[in-house]
Structures are given as C-alpha cells and as structure tokens.
Chains A and B, each alone.
Chain A
Amino acid sequence: AQSVAQPEDQVNVAEGNPLTVKCTYSVSGNPYLFWYVQYPNRGLQFLLKYITGDNLVKGSYGFEAEFNKSQTSFHLKKPSALVSDSALYFCAVTKGGGSYIPTFGRGTSLIVHP
C-alpha cells in the first residue's frame, strides 16, 4: 500500500530565511507527487506537482520541490520565507501508470515569524 510521511508536525522559520518542509513516500512503481497548502477556513490549494521529467519542479508563490527517487523524498522548499506563507502544507502521492488513489500525509504546520 502506498503511504506518505511528513515527519515534522510543525516547522518554524524566520521571515527572509529559507524554508524546507519534508515529505517521504512509499509507492510501487513511478509516483505522481503533489504539494497542497491549506490556509485557515480555506480549502486545499494546489502548489506544485512532479509527474515526470526534471527533478526540480517550480510552483506557485515561489515554492519549489525536488524529487529524489533514491531517497523517496519530495521536499518542499522556498529560498526566502514570508509571514504570509504560514499555513498547513500537505504532501500527496498517487501511483503513476496504474490506479490513481491519492494518499495524503498528515500535514506540516509552517509558522513564519516576523
């Protein structure tokens, strides 16, 4: 069965510093990987995805993520954090080329301090 792990419940970073939100996955075959963000009282919003191709993918609001097949990781990064980036971030995986049943991680709360 496929699974996603987000090992940190909370990440704290100062505004202007780089941020990383970690995600590791387990799936048979090639993965489709996604990052979503959830602001308070809002639905989940798509940030970026990896399907195939370049291991470094760029998404909305200056976020990027690097697919690492050997480490089965898909960490979310941003060079310079903003206070407005404070939100709940979810990593999700689905199996490429087969059944498309999305599995989400439990989420990581990102807090950016002024």
Chain B
Amino acid sequence: EAGVAQSPRYKIIEKRQSVAFWCNPISGHATLYWYQQILGQGPKLLIQFQNNGVVDDSQLPKDRFSAERLKGVDSTLKIQPAKLEDSAVYLCASSLGRQIEAFFGQGTRLTVV
C-alpha cells in the first residue's frame, strides 16, 4: 500500500515569509496528524484531524499556523509569517483510528533564515 506522501521535502525561506506543506495520507485513514520535530527532540503534536474535523489543536500557534483537511483526505499546514524558531521537520502521519498506531511521511525540513 502507498505510504503517507508529503511535499516538499525541503524548504528554505526568509523570516516573515509564508510557507505551506502538503500531506496525502494513506487511503481510508480517518485520522491525520501534523507534528513539529525540532532537532534533538521528539515529535510534538500540532493538530489532529478526525476526517475533516479538528480533534485537537491545543499546541498549534494559531497566530501564525493554520491547517485544513479538505474533504477528509489531503491536508495542508501553513505558516505565516515564519519565525527563525519555526525551523524544524514537519511530519504528517495518518492512522485508521485515534488509538491505533500511525504511519508517518518522510517529513518536510523547513529552514527559516
């Protein structure tokens, strides 16, 4: 089965610019997660969708980050404006259910300069 697809793989932007990441989960997976992984740390959950509804976004910096999941399938995560501390790998994951193991994409490495 095809895995979780993410694009782009790498992105370099200047601070105060905007950026968007795209994720295509495994077909049929109702739950979709976006994580931020800073170098040397574990993934930190930013937002969790169940189908196209938001289940949890308590750790999403809503003044600059936004995410949507159209029709309960693909998802985009946007940062506007970016700050230096947003430099990280952004991981998308999906699962059949919220208590079931997740499948991760390869991530997007964002560098803000």
Point out the residues of chain A lying under 8 angstroms from B105, CB to CB: 43
Q: Is the beta-carbon distance between B104 and A45 smaller than 8 angstroms? A: yes
Q: Is the beta-carbon distance between B42 and A104 smaller than 8 angstroms? A: yes
Residue of B with least CB distance to A41 = B106
The tally of CB-CB contacts under 8 A between chains A and B is 52
Instruction: Please report the C-alpha to C-alpha distance between residue A6 and residue B70 in the assembled complex, in whole angstroms.
Output: 36
Check A105/B42 contact, CB under 8 A, given A46-B101, A100-B98: yes
Instruction: Please report the C-alpha to C-alpha distance between residue A63 and residue B8 in the assembled complex, in whole angstroms.
Output: 33
Q: Is the beta-carbon distance between B33 and A102 smaller than 8 angstroms? A: yes
Residue of B with least CB distance to A35 = B101
Instruction: Please report the C-alpha to C-alpha distance between residue A4 and residue B43 in the assembled complex, in whole angstroms.
Output: 12
Instruction: Please report the C-alpha to C-alpha distance between residue A43 and residue B105 in the assembled complex, in whole angstroms.
Output: 5
Q: Is the beta-carbon distance between A44 and B104 smaller than 8 angstroms? A: yes
Question: In which size bucket is the chain A interface?
Answer: 20 to 34
Minimum CB–CB distance for A72 against chain B, Å? 18
Point out the residues of chain A lying under 8 angstroms from B104, CB to CB: 36, 43-45
Per a CB cutoff under 8 Å, which of B33, B55, B101 touches A34? B101
Q: Is the beta-carbon distance between B42 and A90 smaller than 8 angstroms? A: yes
Residue of A with least CB distance to B100 = A49
B1-25 interface (Cβ within 8 A of A): 3-4
Instruction: Please report the C-alpha to C-alpha distance between residue A45 and residue B101 in the assembled complex, in whole angstroms.
Output: 9
Minimum CB–CB distance for A82 against chain B, Å? 22
Q: Is the beta-carbon distance between B43 and A44 smaller than 8 angstroms? A: yes
Residue of A with least CB distance to B109 = A41
Q: Does chain A have a CB within 8 A of B65?
A: no
Instruction: Please report the C-alpha to C-alpha distance between residue A7 and residue B33 in the assembled complex, in whole angstroms.
Output: 26
Instruction: Please report the C-alpha to C-alpha distance between residue A43 and residue B25 in the assembled complex, in whole angstroms.
Output: 13
Minimum CB–CB distance for B106 against chain A, Å? 5
Q: Is the beta-carbon distance between A100 and B99 smaller than 8 angstroms? A: yes
Q: Is the beta-carbon distance between A99 and B99 smaller than 8 angstroms? A: no
Check A46/B56 contact, CB under 8 A, given A90-B43, A101-B45, A102-B45: no
Residue positions of B touching A, CB distance < 8 A:
3-4, 33, 35, 40-45, 48, 55-56, 58, 91, 93, 98-99, 101-107
Residue positions of A touching B, CB distance < 8 A:
4, 32, 34, 36, 41-46, 49, 51, 90, 92, 94, 96, 99-107
